[in-house]
Amino acid sequence: MDDDHAQLLAMHATLVETACASETKRQNISVVSMTVISAGIAVFASDANFPFIAIVPPILIVSSIWFITVRYYQQLAAVKWQVIHEIEEKLVFQPFKREWDEFTSRKGCLTFGPSTLEQVVPACIFIAVFAYSVY
């Protein structure tokens, strides 16, 4: 194996590792955000005298941060995978391109994945809490 090929493989491995780490961070922010919001709603639901308006600002702030952070990590992942695909073009076998081609060829037009839900859920929570607080 020549030095250029070894360097490409090392860069590929590093980028894949950082892309996976970004995915984990994105998943963690969703778990933490949902936990914080659920805890606030549980406090409200457990005490009839607890004013809902007291948890509205924290829920709006958490759902906004959640949405923005998820979008950031999705955009970062898109760039990382683009670079990974560029590196794979120089390799004999392109496993991630092959995987993506197979996945997209089997995906129906009405399907959506976790990435879509990661954006929809915080946006819906924000809209619902805001609408309820105004109403």
Number of domains making up the chain: 1
pLDDT of residue 120: 87
Contact 95, 88 (CB under 8 A): yes
Predicted pLDDT at 34: 94
Cβ–Cβ under 8 Å, residues 71 and 119:
yes
Task: State the virtual CA torsion across 98, 101, 106, 112 in degrees, nearest 10.
Answer: 120
- Domain boundaries, position 118: 3-134
Q: Which residues of the chain have pLDDT under 70?
A: 1, 107-114
* pLDDT reported for residue 92: 84
Biggest CA pair distance of the chain = 72
**Structure confidence at residue 105 (pLDDT):** 78
pLDDT at residue number 70:
92
Q: Tell me: the pLDDT tens digits for 52-69?
A: 888 899 999 999 999 999
